[in-house]
Amino acid sequence: MKITVLNGSPKGDMSVTLQSVHFIRKTFPAHEFQICNISSKIRNIENNADSFLKVVEGIGASDAVLWAFPLYFFLVPAQYKRFVELVFERGAQGAFRGKYAAALSTSWKFFDHSAHNYIHAICDDLEMRYAGFFSMAMYDLLETRERQRLGLFAETLFEAFETKTTPAKAYLPLPRRDYRYMPGAATEKIDNRGKKVLLLADSLTGPRNLAAMIERFSSAFIRRPDIVDLDAIDMKSGCQGCIQCGYDNECCQDDGFTAFFKRKAVGADIIVFAGSVKDRFLSSAWKTYLDRSFFMNHTPALRGKQFGLLFSGPLSRMENLREILSAYAEWQGMNPVDFVSDEPEDHARIDQALQALAQRLVRYSRKHYTRPSTFLGVGGMKIFRDAIWGSHRFVFQADHRYFKSHGLYDFPHKNLRTVLANAAMMLLTKVPAFRGMLFKKMIRPKMVEPHKKVLKKLFEDSQK
């Protein structure tokens, strides 16, 4: 069986993920593997028609495709995503149609699922036969048990390929739309004086609906937002994955992105993204912006800011995008206020939603309101906390300094009172009589008791 491996790492042959591909290749020598370094050669693939055609022809001549990539900022690297865009833009879907597909990734297990959701959806859009994925931690290949699991994964894939198993699709095609949004005039102006509103868009001259939404949203303010086209930001390329920024939050690339981000994004009170659907996400330009912002590593540099999204496309069909941007906001410590799209295809409703978003962004900013994080934010920070405290501290020294100085190393075992209380209660619950009394009579009232005390004191103080 001939398998084309689409290597998504910007580091090319130095990819950690690619080492797992080599393990599969050596474990199953009867199969032929053709490795294409997509991300590291994306400029040549994009600008040289022959290079793109060579990759596509290789896929067409294969029996299956293995999407192999590192996780970059909730998704695949921007360079890899650009390749996906090229496939659709240049009408090369036919080379993928009917091929078997699987995905292999390496990550910290931080939103690896959203990256795999994306690839799965792309495979469904390409009418491929998606057979599954395998998500590895950075050093799993060093462990005997994980190598065994990887080998079993590959074995089941080959069995599915050879028996011509046809898996069910998980993602319906996104609907085609020809709606043209015609905005009305803003009925009132919102006083945003004293608040810096930054609106970032992947193209101010792109899809008409998005441009109209940006204009209608901007006209709601007394002082128009600072509108920046991503094309105007000096970004030479996407993130290269070198991790040099882990030491001091300084990007290795000598361009204007770092200065822009520190001045504009960090300096804003309100940040609004504006973009259109591009395959199953925003554009690769947006992904480049997000990837490059990793020079701040795992430090929540945008804490306390209000966050919104203007989106042209079927947002209700793109739960993965919604989850990624919600998680991005929560992990950064921002307040995700609302995401507004042109999906309703109703001029008045879109006008109202844009006006309401503008009002809420300013209102919450003035009140310094940030809603509590859900699992998306809390779980993500705990993964970072453990990794930076442990094996990755020497690499991400800037993170370590920030986490230490801001109390983010909040391990439960460091709270002596909790440790002692747990030890005492665990000892007491070994006594059957106490255990029965605790769980049948005590635990529910004791859970409520401290809340009642607080409410009682607040009420009494209010009556004084």
Look-up of token digits 């999407």: 67
Quick: pLDDT tens for 170-211: 999 999 989 999 999 998 999 999 999 999 999 777 789 999
Quick: pLDDT tens for 334-354: 999 999 999 999 999 999 999
The CA distance from 291 to 38, in Å, is: 17
**Where does the pLDDT of residue 461 fall: very low under 50, low under 70, confident under 90, or very high at 90 and above?**
confident
Which neighbouring-strand residues pair with 338? 308
Rounded to two decimals, the pTM is 0.94
Give the pLDDT of residue 99.
95
Region 397-422: mean pLDDT is: 90
Give the pLDDT of residue 417.
86
Region 67-78: mean pLDDT is: 97
The CA distance from 49 to 398, in Å, is: 42
Strands 32-37 vs 2-7: parallel, antiparallel or unpaired? parallel
Quick: pLDDT tens for 215-251: 999 999 999 999 999 999 999 999 999 999 999 999 9
**Would you state the torsion angle of the CA atoms of residues 62, 71, 246, 237, taken in this order, to the nearest 10 degrees?**
60
Quick: pLDDT tens for 150-167: 999 999 999 988 888 888
Q: Is pLDDT at 463 greater than 80 in this prediction?
A: no
Which neighbouring-strand residues pair with 310? 274, 340
Quick: pLDDT tens for 262-317: 999 999 999 999 999 999 999 999 999 999 999 999 999 999 999 999 999 999 99
Three-state secondary structure call for residue 308: strand
Give rounded-to-5 percent helix, strand, coil for the chain: 50, 15, 35
Three-state SS for 201-270 is ECCCCCCHHHHHHHHHHHCCECCCCEEEEHHHCCCCCCCCCCCCHHHHCCCCCCCCHHHHHHHHHCCCCE
